[in-house]
Amino acid sequence: MKTFKLLFLVCFITFNMPIVAQTADEIINTYFENTGGVENWAALNGVKMNASVNQGVDIPVEIYQLKDGRQAVIVNFQGQEITQFAFDGETMWGTNFMTMQAEKSDSEMTENFKKQSLDFPSALFNYKDKGYTVELMENETIDGAETFKIKLTQKPIMVDGKELPNISYHYFDTDSFALIQSEAEIQQGPMTGQKSISKMSDYQEVDGLYFPFDMGMGGQSIKIISIDLNPEVEDNVFAFPEE
Amino acid sequence: MKNILLGIAILLIFPVSMAQEIPIKGDQLFGNLKARHIGPAVMSGRITDIDLHPTKDNIIYAGAAGGGVWKSTDSGTFFNSIFDEHAQSIGCVAVDPVDPDNIVWVGTGETWVRNSVSVGDGIYKTTDGGTNWKKMGFENSERISGIKINPNNNQEIYVGVLGALWSDSEERGVYKTTDGGETWNKILYINETTGVADIAMDPTNPNILYASMWQVRRSPWSFNSGGEHSALYKTTDGGKNWNKIHNGFPNGKLGRIALAIAPSQPETVYVVLETEEAKSNGLYRSDDGGNSWEHLNNNFELVVRPFYFSRITVDPKNPDVLVKAGLYGAISRDGGKTFKNLGNMHPDIHDIAFHINNSEIMYVGTDGGVYRSWNGGSTLEIVENIPVSQYYHVSVDDAEPYNVYGGLQDNGSWYGPSAAPGGVKAKHWNSVGYGDGFRVLKHPTKNIIYSEMQGAANVWRYDVDRNQTKTIQPMAEKGDPKLRFNWNPPMALSNFYPDRFYMGSQFLHRSDDMGDTWTKISPDLTTNDPKKQDQSSSGGLSIDNSGAETHTTIFTIAESPLDENIIWVGTDDGNVQITQDGGKTWTNTVANIPDLPKNTWCYKIYASNFHKGTAYAVFEGHATGDMNPYAYKTSDFGKTWKSIITDDIIGFARSIHEDYENENLLFLGTEFGLFVTVDGGQNWSRFTNNMPAASVMYIALHKKTSDLVLATHGRGIIIIDDISPLREITPEILDKEVHFFSSKPFVMKEDSGFAENFGTETQFIGQNPSSNARIVYYLNKRHTFGKMELEVQDMEGNKIATLNAGKSKGLNIVDWSFTSKGPKIAEAKTLSFGGFATPRVPAGTYNVVMIKGKETFTHTIEVVYDPNTIVTPQGREERQKMVEILFDMNEELAYQVYKVNTTIQHAETLLAEDPKSKKVSEAVINELNTLLKSMVITTGDNYVASAEPELREKLADLYSGVVNNYDKPTGAQMANYESVKALYDEIMDRYESIQKKEVSKYESYLSKNNKESLSFQTKEEFLK
């Protein structure tokens, strides 16, 4: 892991800062340019993040995301390897906490996940090619910072047998164009219609690309310890373990 | 643990997916200082309008009188607020028939125009089902009664504007847009006193519309419904021409007209008329599209209070089934000839909606929330999670946690805790008064509560312990005129004598015996203007003398906290009176107040905590059509007054509170939310963090906790916990990169009771405050780039805990649960839940250290033990000792298990590649595996198939048992410790002997054969 460089900040401030009113495309493009360049993001084949969640005790978490859509989040704790979820392109599954056995996710969730399998490194990346649309909304103050608010509409998802729009909001700091918050609408349960909010901060450079090293949700941080770019990952990390 | 894992999943699925100017304001200042809502929802509040999705039967929208718009996507099991940022008084909600998933219109400004009704500020549209809203005009409409959208062309919309209630206005009548709301044309206008009460569109022919026009006016002292301009109109050409359709109506003036078309037979139209004579009031039916009318019914429910209940809903499938809103609501199944009341629910029914497919199912909006019926209105159940309670007032006591007291529109008086195990639930709220509730005050020293109902018809003194009440309101004595009590009658406690209690009619009454006897300590302090005192004819066509319009009364009483003889009184007709001799002489100071329109209602006087001559007065003239905010400060007993209002303030103001420690910190409640100044009123910031744009009717500040407690008229009680950091804000601090705010020593509460949730699945549950250490700092910029860590260290610099740092510009509030890191637990086949216990730190001082980029900022805090505890210092010491012993044993075991596992793995690898090693490697593998089975669980699962506990589990369970008690370990725990310790020692001895024997031989083999030797991390490395 490389440490954050002052140069990075200078780049943010001096490059790609059109003063006139922004379009959603300009904002998204500037974000990817400022965080390493569109081409470099396009060339990235995957990441493995070593992270930690502090719950009184530090819980180590490994996060895998590959360009082909395969993903996994694995928690290692007290000698137990718990796959929070994994997706091999077809099957989504996770470890049942009670039995410690792998169980497949319901088909609806899997299908919804499959629809997002082209979302590496971000749903916003090449969003047009994926058939998504964006809309620039009115600026909002997030964490005290003035932000551009972009609405992203992805392909509809199915929730409890009903097709629902898949809409999320992304907030970019107007000074630096850094993405500092994303929100998705909660689609089921008593909180339906409210937002699940993710906050991004502590951007740091990894081989030319900049990642948020702190992702917060409901006051709980996921701290990234290190990121491996283009990692070699065994297939069995993602594959549902057959009995 | 589970929540965290879930959180990770969600996260992952998604993101890869003063004299000086205060330089920042609003969100940039308040950072993540957030309000919390405690409801209650047990009595919910007034629902004004309900609209349903036309094709998806599980989607319901409900508009509230002062609580915004709520949406359900599960047929009404849960509702969520979707309109927090805008005016909370809702006239109507309309779902677009063409694009119902996305487009919804909201007309703000309630049209059930009771005395306490709030105001709207236009019409709003969402194009994404309620996530984002855009104002589409009618800024000065005040109240919107109906929105009708052409089902064939959703660009064509008609809006009925009732308009201003308390003043003339030309922004009223029927408007039409043909471009989706970009531009509007007024297509039916009568005059500046007459607006649209109801509008209906023929579902089969959108060019046919009916509009009922209502001449109406309120003043602070009267209400007038009806006049020669009230009328029913119809257009058949999309609004180009309108005709009065009164064939069959009585002659003379009309009042409010309710209107409904039978959707299944649009030629059938029902109206309810308010007329000059009781016998001609009530329901009329037309079966020829309004050409002629037949009077069918004037039962009570049909004619009751037209201004409040003029709503008819016709079953969408049957033209002869209709429901009339009313005191109880009534349903007819014979086309309006006869009615029977709806089943038992909260009275005052304002709207009814039939399910789109099954008319047995009905949704009803009442003064007490949304109800559902599954059997055609015969029985009903309440929706338990819409906290739109309309408080008039709030006060707090000094209990821990403190209680919150207040009265509500049509929902009595209540008190409930500011915090409760598992959250503040419906069951925690206690009723302490009937009728409309207003001010509720706890006796300063006795467990006695004063409460009241409208017009002081009853003032109760409630002995809580004995469950006994006594009515104690002041009454007219010989020679007195009729006492005039406001609808919302003022009461106040003394700061000096616990049994002293004040009430205001036109006189100020003082009791020194908790209301048993009263003394008038003033003359009539009002203008005593007889023109404003005849309410017997108030109401217009329907007399409505409920007492709601009683005027020329005292409205606010403020005894100086610095001098018992200084008492301020404000009246609803605009007087500001002060006595400095305990009531012997009074001076009216209102003439000294600059730029205040005459007779503007004095809503609140606040006597300063700092100087005897200082007070704040808040006025509001909305009931005469003046929507401006007025707040003034005097520093010389009212000789001079200075306005403290700036352009930052939105909405007319009703309440103010001065801080107890910083006289420049003030809180102002307006019709559209809360405003805060840290510089004595030179700059104001609107507080919006989890704070809706609700009317803040009253503000209390809890002395001990510094919690700001808001009585909102539509969103219940909202609390901002501990506002003390605001006391310290100065321009100098805001200039710094990082500033830590001072804090009192944090108390480590030792509460450990039970929080049960039985039967609360569908209830609103009020949020609890944090009981953690609350570390507050200011950042001058949002932290986005580079590392930022926040940790707690002991005074020697050892890390105790990692905190989740707040990174907002402005105030950041970070919780620390007083715990240090938990022990590292040995690896095994299952999880040891005991290992999740994290030990509390001892009382003392600690450093909070922020590492931000290359800079480090340090702030020292103090934590102390709970003074209200059963735990003794010795007990705590013994516990601490034991915690440390067990913590270390757990980690030592973890390390030894690591070594055992490493050795086994090493031997297995060797065995595989070097069969010659079989003798030594197998001996190691077998011996250590046998040992391991006694050290940790090696089979089973985390639930009911779990294996018998081994040393690790016994040790971790004992450890967590000791950690989770605050007191000294029990005798059983100590005895158990001896047993576990014996096992521990035995296992460690066995390991040592295996190491000496089998492992030693194995190592010799490795050495002799030049194999890679056994190596381990040091314990320090392992534990890192």
B947 in contact with chain A, both atoms CB, cutoff 8 A: no
CA distances to A104, B110, B285 from A70, rounded to whole Å, are 15, 53, 66
Fold of B395-723: Methylamine Dehydrogenase; Chain H (2.130.10)
- pLDDT tens sequence across B889-922: 999 999 999 999 999 999 999 999 999 999 999 9
Q: Which of B115, B212, B217 is nearest to B540 (CA)?
A: B217
pLDDT of residue B21: 64
Residue A22's pLDDT is 80
Residue among A122, A167, A222 minimizing CB distance to B11: A222
pLDDT in tens, B248-288: 999 999 999 999 999 999 999 999 999 999 999 999 999 99
Q: Looking at chain A, which residue has its C-alpha nearest residue B10?
A: A196
Q: Is the pLDDT of residue B127 over 60?
A: yes
What residue in A sits closest to B812 (Cα-Cα)? Answer: A143
| pLDDT for B946 beyond 80 | no
**B517 DSSP assignment:** S
Whether A25 shows a pLDDT value over 60: the answer reads yes
The sign one gets for the Cα dihedral B966, B972, B976, B977 is positive
Backbone angles phi, psi at A95, to 5 degrees: -85, 125
B174 neighbors B156 (Cβ within 8 angstroms): no
- pLDDT (mean) for A142-160: 94
SS3 B710: strand
What tens digit of pLDDT does each residue of B54-113 get? 999 999 999 999 999 999 999 999 999 999 999 999 999 999 999 999 999 999 999 999
Q: Which two tokens stand for residue B709?
A: 């407690």
Which residues, 6 or more positions from B841, have their beta carbon under 8 angstroms from its beta carbon? B800, B818, B819, B820, B863
Q: Which residues of B587-606 are buried (b: 16+ CB within 10 A; e: fewer)?
A: ebbbebbeebeebbbbbbbb
Give A162's contacts (C-beta < 8 A, 6+ positions apart): none
Q: Is the pLDDT of residue B17 over 50?
A: no
Q: Is the pLDDT of residue B9 over 60?
A: no
Q: Does B289 touch chain A (CB under 8 A)?
A: no
Nearest to A123 among B17, B26, B825 (CB): B17
Q: B4 falls in which pLDDT band (50, 70, 90)?
A: very low
Give the residue from chain B lying closest to A95, CA to CA. B5
Q: Are A122 and B941 inside 8 Å of each other by CB?
A: no
Q: Check if the beta carbon of residue B764 is closer than 8 Å to that of residue B41.
A: yes
Task: Give the gap in angstroms from C-alpha B83 to the nearest C-alpha of chain A.
Answer: 12
C-alpha–C-alpha distance, residues B361 and A79, integer Å: 54
Mean pLDDT of B435-450: 97
Residue-level pLDDT at A123: 95
**List of E strands, B505-661:** 508-511, 519-520, 539-540, 554-559, 567-571, 576-579, 587-588, 601-607, 615-621, 626-634, 642-643, 653-658
Contact with chain A for residue B73, Cβ under 8 A: yes
Distance (Å) from the C-alpha of residue A236 to the closest C-alpha of chain B? Answer: 19
Helices (H) and strands (E) in chain B, counts: 12, 66
Question: In B, which residues are within 8 Å of A54 by CB distance?
Answer: 802, 804
**Interchain contact B784–A (C-beta under 8 A):** yes
Peptide bond into B40 cis (omega under 30): yes
- Asked if B347 contacts B328 with a C-beta cutoff of 8 angstroms, the reply is yes
E-strand ranges in B408-542 read 413-417, 430-431, 441-442, 448-452, 459-463, 468-471, 491-493, 501-504, 508-511, 519-520, 539-540
Q: Is the dihedral of CA B940, B945, B950, B955 positive or negative?
A: positive
Using the beta-carbon criterion (under 8 Å), do A204 and B786 form an inter-chain contact?
yes
Can you read off the two tokens belonging to residue A108?
A: 């609806």
- E strands within B671-772? 673-677, 685-687, 696-701, 708-712, 717-720, 738-740, 746-748
Residue of A nearest to B71 (CA): A193
Nearest-by-Cβ selection for B8 from A84, A168, A182:
A84
B388 contacts: CB under 8 Å, gap ≥ 6: B41, B44, B45, B46, B47, B64, B65, B66, B67, B68, B70, B369, B714, B715, B716
> How many CB atoms lie under 10 A from the CB of residue B427?
14
Query: Six-digit token pair at B615?
Result: 């007070």
Q: How far is CA B83 from the centre of its chain?
A: 13
Residues B800, B827 contacting (CB under 8 angstroms): no
Angle between helix B873-913 and helix B951-964 axes, rounded to 10 deg: 160
Instruction: Categorize the per-residue pLDDT at A188 as very low, low, confident or very high, splitting at 50, 70 and 90.
Output: confident
Which residues in A lie closer than 8 A to residue B11 (C-beta atoms)? 198, 215, 217, 222
B652 vs B664: CA distance, rounded Å: 21
Residue of A nearest to B11 (CA): A198
How many whole angstroms separate alpha carbon B854 and alpha carbon B691? 36
pLDDT for residue B228 = 97
User: Given CB atoms, is B16 within the 8 Å cutoff of chain A?
Assistant: yes
Q: Which residues partner with B29 through β-bridges?
A: none
pLDDT-derived band at B23 (thresholds 50, 70, 90) equals low
| Phi, psi at B744, each rounded to 5° | -70, 160
Dihedral pair phi/psi, residue A31, rounded to 5°: -60, -50
Whole-number Cα distances in Å, B535 to B359, B485, B506: 42, 13, 16
CA–CA min distance A122, chain B (Å): 5
User: What CA–CA distance (Å, rounded) separates B641 from A218?
Assistant: 46
Plot region of B392 (φ>0 → left; ψ -120 to 50 → alpha; else → beta): alpha
For residue A224, the chain B residue with the least C-alpha distance is B787
List all residues of chain B from 367 to 406 with a beta carbon under 8 Å from chain A.
385
What is the least distance, in Å, from the CA of B789 to any CA of chain A?
A: 9
Whether residue B784 and residue A176 make contact (CB cut-off 8 A), yes or no, is yes
- The closest of B690, B727, B728, B731 to B710, measured between CA atoms, is B690
Q: How far apart are CA B104 and CA B61, in angstroms?
A: 9
Residue B480, pLDDT > 80, answer yes
Residues A169 and B15: beta-carbon distance below 8 Å: no
Give the residue on B whose Cα is nearest the Cα of A140. B27
**Does the pLDDT at position B8 exceed 70?**
no
Verify whether the Cβ–Cβ distance B828 to A200 is below 8 Å: no
**Cα B653 to Cα B509, B644, B656, B938, distances in angstroms:** 27, 12, 8, 68
Mention every residue, 6+ apart, whose C-beta is less than 8 A from residue A106: none
Q: Best interface-test mutation with A: which of B807, B891, B950, B953 has the largest number of A CBs within 10 A?
A: B807
Angstrom CA distances, B108 to A220, B121, B297, B695, stand at 38, 6, 32, 14
**B964 — contact with chain A (CB < 8 Å)?**
no
B809 Cβ under 8 Å from any chain A Cβ: yes
Cβ atoms B415, B431 nearer than 8 A: no
pLDDT tops 90 at residue A12: no
pLDDT of residue A19: 47
Q: Which of A78, A105, A204 best probes binding to B when mutated, by most B CB atoms within 10 angstroms?
A: A78
Task: Say if CB B619 and CB B574 are below 8 A apart.
Answer: yes
Contact across the interface for A98 and B828, Cβ inside 8 Å: no
Beta-carbon pairs below 8 A across chains A and B: 200
Contacts of B89 (CB under 8 A, 6+ apart): B65, B66, B108, B109, B110, B117, B118, B119, B120, B143, B695, B714
Q: Which of A79-88, B185-194, B253-262, B273-282 has the lowest mean pLDDT?
A: A79-88
Per-residue model confidence (pLDDT) at position B11: 42
- The tokens 């991390």 sit on which residue? B1017
CB contact under 8 A, A178 and B785: yes
Q: What is the per-residue pLDDT across B580-593, written as a single tens digit (0 to 9) for each?
A: 999 999 999 999 99
Structural domains in chain A, CATH included, are 19-237 (2.50.20.10)
B819 contacts in A (CB within 8 Å)? 56
Per-residue pLDDT, A5: 40
Query: CA A199 → CA A172, A181, A183, B14, distances in Å?
Result: 11, 4, 9, 11
The predicted structure's pLDDT at residue A243: 67
Among B3, B8, B10, B830, the strongest candidate for a mutation testing the A interface, having the largest count of A CBs within 10 A, is B8
Residue A213 C-alpha, separation from nearest chain B C-alpha, in angstroms:
8
Confidence of residue B813 (pLDDT cuts 50, 70, 90): very high
- Whether the predicted pLDDT of B942 surpasses 80: no
Q: Is the dihedral of CA B43, B45, B51, B56 positive or negative?
A: negative
CB-based contact B785 A9, cutoff 8 Å: yes
pLDDT at B681: 96
Q: Enumerate the domain spans of chain B.
A: 85-214+223-244, 395-723, 773-1008
Query: How far apart (Å, rounded) are the C-alpha atoms in residues A78 and B404?
Result: 46
Question: Which of A57, A116, A122, A183 would you mutate first to test chain B, the one with the most B CBs within 10 A?
Answer: A57
Q: Cα–Cα distance between B426 and B416 in angstroms, integer?
A: 9
Helices (H), chain A: 6-14, 24-34, 38-43, 107-115
Q: Where does residue A110 rank: exposed (0-12), middle (13-18), buried (19+ CB within 10 A)?
A: middle
State how far the alpha carbon of B887 is from the alpha carbons of B891, B893, B894, in Å. 6, 10, 11
List of chain A residues whose C-beta atoms are within 8 Å of the C-beta of residue B831: 77-78, 80
Q: What is the DSSP string of B215-239?
A: EEEEETTEEEE-BTT-EEEEESSTT
Element of type H or E holding B145 = strand B144-149
**Which of A55, A97, A143 faces B782 most closely, judged by CB atoms?**
A143
Sign of CA dihedral B932, B933, B935, B939: positive
Q: How far is A123 from chain B (nearest CA, A)?
A: 5
Domain B85-214+223-244 has CATH 2.130.10.10: yes
User: pLDDT band for position A185 (50/70/90)?
Assistant: confident
CA distances from B255 to B173, B330, B461 (A): 16, 21, 41
Radius of gyration of chain B (CA): 35
* pLDDT in the model for residue B20: 54
Query: What local confidence, expressed as pLDDT, does residue B1 receive?
Result: 41
> Is some CB atom of chain A closer than 8 A to the CB atom of B854?
no
Across the interface, of B80, B809, B836, the residue whose CB is closest to A192 is: B80
Q: How far is CA B47 from CA B66, B364, B714, B833, in A?
A: 9, 9, 10, 47
Q: Which residues of A touch B940 (CB under 8 A)?
A: none
- Closest partner residue to A201 (CB to CB) among B807, B821, B945 is B807
Which of A142, A144, A200 is opposite residue B15, by nearest beta carbon? A200
Rounded to 5 degrees, φ, ψ at B362 are -135, 150
What mean pLDDT is reported for chain B?
95
Are residues B340 and B287 in contact, defined by beta-carbon separation less than 8 angstroms?
Answer: no
pLDDT score of A1:
32
pLDDT tens figures, B746-790: 999 998 888 888 999 999 999 999 999 999 999 999 999 999 999
| Per-residue pLDDT, A56 | 77
Write out pLDDT tens, residues B690-711: 999 999 999 999 999 999 999 9
Tell me the pLDDT band of B938, cut-offs 50, 70 and 90.
Answer: confident
Expressed in angstroms, the distance from the first to the final Cα of chain B is 21
* B929 CA to centre of own chain: 58
Give the pLDDT confidence score for residue B789 in this predicted structure.
95
Interface contact A167-B827, CB threshold 8 A: no
Residue B238 pLDDT more than 70?
Answer: yes
